[in-house]
Structure 1
Amino acid sequence: MDSQWHRVNGSNGLDIIVDINDKTDNYSDKNGAVVIQGYVLIDNQPATAEQVLKTYMQIGSVSGLYATLSGQFWILLKPASSPPIVFGDHIGSQPCYYFNSDTQLIVSSSLKSIKARSDMELTVSKQALYNYIYFHCIPAPTTVYEEVFKLEPGKAVSFAGSTKTTSLLYSPEFAIKLENQQQAQQQSLDTIEQAVKSHAKGNVGAFLSGGLDSSTVAGMLAKTQNEQAKTFSIGFEVPGYDETEYAVLTAKHFNTDHEVLYLKPEEAAAEFVNVAQYFDEPFGNSSAMAAYFCAKFAKQHGVDVLLAGDGGDELFAGNERYAKQKVFEKYYCLPSWLGNTVNVFFNNPITRALPGFKKVASYLNQARVKLPARLQTHNFVNQLGVENIFHADLLSDVNPSLPEQQLKQRFDECKSDHPVDGMLFLDWKFTLADNDLVKVGKMCELAGVEVRYPLLDKNIVDFSCTVPADVKLPGGELRDFYKKSCKGFLADETLNKSKHGFGLPFGVWMKENQTLKDLTITTLNQFKQRNIVKESLIDQARNAHESVHTGYYGELIWIMVVLELWLQKEAPGFRA
């Protein structure tokens, strides 16, 4: 997107500068100024920047204005007599970066645009690199640079010089009771249909992995389009990674015009550097490559807009970890005296040595950790140990507990005490806003395609909160409510399939494809000079990948290689 810097009327000596592009709407008058990135609806009707300012003047508060808004956006609002405030949509679908000082506020959808300004000198944050290894991305509000921050989903930041105040605008109530489940199931389908219909504008197609979410979006697109809907999927000639048969099944079920691209390792190798360096920050989700090729494939078939299926799992409890954590919560909710007694009896050196008791001890060790920290039990950093991963030069300027503090802060902001509701609310930020939406959004941008997320329409998110957690996930039945809602709409084979997605067989390819192997070895050797992680970790990952844990260590290798490639372009001289 071509962009240019636009100066907004400031006050009290604060110079407000915003990055304007072809996706931006701005308006100003004597009452103030509004800049919108993306698109906004007021009471479900498309709205301009002028209408947003007028609505704010009528209501008189940002929270009141926010209650009327939906869409995919971030907004800079500068009332004539108040400090500027920046806020985004309920799910953080549009990236928003900002720099603020005593005299200046700079806002942009692109971190690289801020960095490119002649008046900017940015410092790579060691803490952000630690967070990247921990999360495989850099969650808001921090960025890879110490001086720049990014907006969190559903939050507002107001600025008074270098002082900023953050408030949470979107924190819905979660229901604990459902009067009529059958009626709610029909409402669920109706709400999704309307959301897809409202997003299906222009020359549109849909990602189709064959899972529940993408199949639902594809099916609704087919239902609401006057002509045959276009759908696209990507496949791999690697056992365990290819799911195109389910995508084809859905395409036949809804009679879509379906195209499949089988991605070859040499094609991925040719675009590896380009993809890694395109992101504003280091980004380690390996399925980015698949998203890019699928979006590019759709573009080549004449599509300008793609509907993505992201969000269903995080709205209707479709991830295995939700069910798993419910099991651990049974122990955690015991009275402390009883829990301690059970732990002493079953989790000691003697019982751990007995057949069958090792799993009991493992359960107790995990169950005794409070959510949300328990979700990170199998995190690379926790499994291998901070001291075994990171170089001392990096750790000297890092708070190792910050990632868990960030997780806890978000988890505690949820208005529900139910652990499933808390995990869903947590994932709206860390899984969706910080990860999946960054992946899909940037890769579609690179491919020259606009992406929209109908399942994350505010009406659907709001509706999902009216369905109690134990209805969404009774016992261990993932997405039970959602599946019952889609019964008769989706094919039975789709409803009964196990979860998968757009995963990339990088670990397998790296062993089989010489180009990828050479690129990986060269890049990892260069990465050793950064003093971010220990050389022994890099060697351990390579050796383990070659011998046993191809997938597990393939992922660790991927995130290190991607980080090195990004640094080579954006901060070539960086050493911890």
Structure 2
Amino acid sequence: MNSTSSVTKLNNIELVVSPTLKCRIVTHQPFTYSTGDQVTIVCGGSPKLNGKDCFAEELLTRFQQRVADLYNNLDGKFWLLIIDHAKQTALLVNDVMGIQSCFYTVQHNTFYISDSLKLIKQQDAVQCTLSKQAIFNYFYCHCIPAPNTIYEECFKLSPGNALSIDSNGVIDTENFYSPEFATSLENNQAAEKQCLENLQHIVEQQTKPDSGAFLSGGLDSSTVSGLLSKIQDNAKTFSIGFKVAEYDETAYANITAEHFQTDHKTLYLTPEMASAEFIDVAQYFDEPFGNSSAMAAYFCAKFAKQHGVNHLLAGDGGDELFAGNERYAKQKIFEHFHQAPDWQKILPRTAFVNSVAEKIPVVKKVASYIKQADVSLPDRLENYNFIQQLGAENMFPAAFLAQVDQEQPLQQKRERFSQCTSHHPVDQMLYLDWKFTLADNDLVKVTKMCELADVDVDFPFLSKSLIDFSCRIPADIKLPGNKLRDFYKKACKGFLADATLSKSKHGFGLPFGVWMKEDKTLKELTLTTLNQFKTRNIVKASFIDEALKAHQNIHSGYYGELIWIMVILELWLQGNE
């Protein structure tokens, strides 16, 4: 195949798909392209073949009109554009976990592609209108899940998705990565050994001379840090600590650091430090992003940069591959009742779900169990959602709600849940979390905050080879009964410290609610921002006042999180309108 390729990596190029459709690529990160007799391939991010970086020219030589075959052999974080000149069509795909952001819009006969929504907005011919639906989805999910973006005209690829566009700009999407989940395993011990060996191989491939690792003290960051220490003497590891006991895990990080003898450093984050960077962090994201632990991720990456680290390894993904979240075990219990035959449910409902029985404390718990179990997955996972708990009609003005589909966020989750090839509830929840917990949330947080700190980041657990391996471990071996991460813990027995393996699951967040009570600067910033937010009529002014009052008198952590997502939204809007 004869081809012409870009000699150097580019950030901006316009290609012809058909006489009526152009494709304009504008990114922060360089990309490569290669054109053959019938096909042009553009390669963004850092795709890998056999563990090594590859570029568009190499992909073009391997391309034989079977996109699926090419795609299945790719790993890493990337997007890939394939223009078929004969058919005058274009196909856009991204990596299986959506690590590499990929935004797009079709306007004025031009198909725009970028790793940055802000760059798309800067294009002269592009129109970007704030989406009320996206804002509602943000309140529901604390981020804006794909394919929506904060702008009505722009979209982003869901993880492992393929988007095809014809010569007239008509778009179709396909879920490109939907693996089979195993139901049996021949040799547990061999698989446990292979698990750690696979991870070590991935860490070896991803490690650079100036690498370090995030170390929170949990299973995943401890594993990555330990494997890094086998590759580098005095491997550098970094933690964020808080002077608020229930948010601080530095003791566990220290256990891992001592166990592997890493060069470990801890930065204790204070409300004063957070206040100084608050606005910059909030406005840096492409869209409003309400995960409060973003602040900690930024300071940790910045701290690592100050100590000579330009590349970090992160432990994100282990819980979502090997069943480490408490909700997986909890939902299995509900599923026992939910999936029982209807005739078996009649007597418990009659005995426990009635006005008399529910006045008895012990019986009340049984009634609550039955009511929750009657709700199907994934809807049942939303019981503690702010909008579900507080009521959309109590939060938003009627005029705002009239312009949004209140069912859309949950419908998006139902659609993803149903795409899983397995019918086991744990597999289905894992597959759901690959998108909504990882691609839409945690990975955005870590990648953008590392970018702000000028540090590159990789996620060893989210290598495609390990994801595929995890699917070969049956759900009931990953999570037998209520034993979270059982398979994975056995795989790490003798490698991780016993105290790390036995520690309870600890949620990671920022003590914003506590700080707002104690720090005058942060409190003033919050109150000023919320007063400005009231003028937008997105949320009822009375609701904002009630949330502030509840934060002071009822639960600082719960309502602090609610206040955080409103403050972040207002700050983002101020910086991006």
Q: TM-score range by the shorter chain?
A: over 0.9
CA distance in 2: counterparts of 1:333 and 1:20, whole angstroms: 48
Pick from 492, 495, 500 the counterpart of residue 494 of structure 1.
500
Partner of 2:570: 564
Contact between 1:393 and 1:531, CA under 8 Å: does it hold in 2? no
CA distance in 2: counterparts of 1:281 and 1:393, whole angstroms: 23
Pick from 59, 73, 76 the counterpart of residue 71 of structure 1.
76
Output one character per residue of 1:146-168: Cα deviation in whole Å (capped at 9) or x when no partner: 00000000010001233111111
Output one character per residue of 1:501-557: Cα deviation in whole Å (capped at 9) or x when no partner: 542110000000000000001111111111111122211110010112010000000
What is the deviation of 1:12?
A: 3.7
| Residue 374 (structure 2) pairs with residue 362 (structure 1) | no
Amino acid at match of 1:413: Q
Contact between 2:10 and 2:30, CA under 8 Å: does it hold in 1? no
Partner of 1:100: 106
CA distance in 1: counterparts of 2:357 and 2:374, whole angstroms: 18
Partner of 2:352: 346
Partner of 1:304: 310
**CA separation of 1:43 and 1:377: change in aligned 2, threshold 3 A:** same
Structure 1 residues 168-187: aligned runs within 5 Å: 168-187=175-194
CA distance in 2: counterparts of 1:22 and 1:435, whole angstroms: 21
Partner of 2:559: 553
CA distance in 2: counterparts of 1:230 and 1:42, whole angstroms: 28
3-state secondary structure, aligned to 2:173: strand
Output one character per residue of 1:431-488: Cα deviation in whole Å (capped at 9) or x when no partner: 0000000000000000000010011111110000000000000000000000011000
3-state secondary structure, aligned to 2:282: helix
Amino acid at match of 2:33: N
Contact between 2:75 and 2:95, CA under 8 Å: does it hold in 1? yes
What is the deviation of 1:21?
A: 4.0
Output one character per residue of 1:237-272: Cα deviation in whole Å (capped at 9) or x when no partner: 111111111111101111111111011110000100
Partner of 1:426: 432
- Between 376-385 and 26-35, the greater mean CA deviation after superposition: 26-35
What is the deviation of 1:170?
A: 0.8
Output one character per residue of 1:256-293: Cα deviation in whole Å (capped at 9) or x when no partner: 11111011110000100110000000000000000000
CA distance in 1: counterparts of 2:516 and 2:62, whole angstroms: 55
Contact between 1:130 and 1:398, CA under 8 Å: does it hold in 2? yes
Aligned residues between the structures:
567
| Residue 21 (structure 2) pairs with residue 14 (structure 1) | yes
| Residue 178 (structure 2) pairs with residue 191 (structure 1) | no
Contact between 2:21 and 2:169, CA under 8 Å: does it hold in 1? no
TM-score between both structures, scaled by the size of structure 1: 0.96
Partner of 1:574: none
Output one character per residue of 1:24-60: Cα deviation in whole Å (capped at 9) or x when no partner: 222223332222221112344432111112212x3x2
3-state secondary structure, aligned to 1:399: coil
- Between 460-469 and 99-108, the greater mean CA deviation after superposition: 99-108
| Residue 417 (structure 2) pairs with residue 411 (structure 1) | yes
Partner of 2:42: 35
What is the deviation of 1:73?
A: 0.7
Partner of 2:170: 163
Contact between 2:79 and 2:95, CA under 8 Å: does it hold in 1? yes
Amino acid at match of 2:72: A
Amino acid at match of 2:66: S
Contact between 2:305 and 2:453, CA under 8 Å: does it hold in 1? yes
CA distance in 1: counterparts of 2:51 and 2:203, whole angstroms: 14
RMSD: 1.3
3-state secondary structure, aligned to 2:171: strand
Amino acid at match of 2:227: M
Output one character per residue of 1:374-433: Cα deviation in whole Å (capped at 9) or x when no partner: 000111111111111112121111010111110010000000000000000000000000
Amino acid at match of 1:50: E
CA distance in 1: counterparts of 2:330 and 2:82, whole angstroms: 43
Partner of 2:5: none
3-state secondary structure, aligned to 2:361: coil
Contact between 2:239 and 2:300, CA under 8 Å: does it hold in 1? yes
Partner of 1:131: 137
3-state secondary structure, aligned to 1:240: helix
CA distance in 2: counterparts of 1:76 and 1:112, whole angstroms: 20
Amino acid at match of 1:394: F
| Residue 346 (structure 2) pairs with residue 334 (structure 1) | no
Partner of 1:315: 321
3-state secondary structure, aligned to 2:245: coil
CA distance in 1: counterparts of 2:27 and 2:513, whole angstroms: 40
CA distance in 1: counterparts of 2:27 and 2:153, whole angstroms: 21
3-state secondary structure, aligned to 1:37: strand
CA distance in 1: counterparts of 2:52 and 2:568, whole angstroms: 41
Contact between 2:10 and 2:31, CA under 8 Å: does it hold in 1? no
CA distance in 1: counterparts of 2:207 and 2:16, whole angstroms: 36
Contact between 1:309 and 1:454, CA under 8 Å: does it hold in 2? yes
Contact between 2:29 and 2:45, CA under 8 Å: does it hold in 1? no
- Aligned residues with identical type, % of pairs: 56
- Between 284-293 and 379-388, the greater mean CA deviation after superposition: 379-388
**CA separation of 1:465 and 1:397: change in aligned 2, threshold 3 A:** same
Pick from 2, 12, 23 the counterpart of residue 5 of structure 1.
12
CA distance in 2: counterparts of 1:497 and 1:297, whole angstroms: 26
Output one character per residue of 1:267-326: Cα deviation in whole Å (capped at 9) or x when no partner: 000100110000000000000000000000000001110000000000000000000000
Structure 1 residues 258-273: aligned runs within 5 Å: 258-273=264-279
Amino acid at match of 2:329: A
| Residue 259 (structure 2) pairs with residue 253 (structure 1) | yes
TM-score between both structures, scaled by the size of structure 2: 0.96
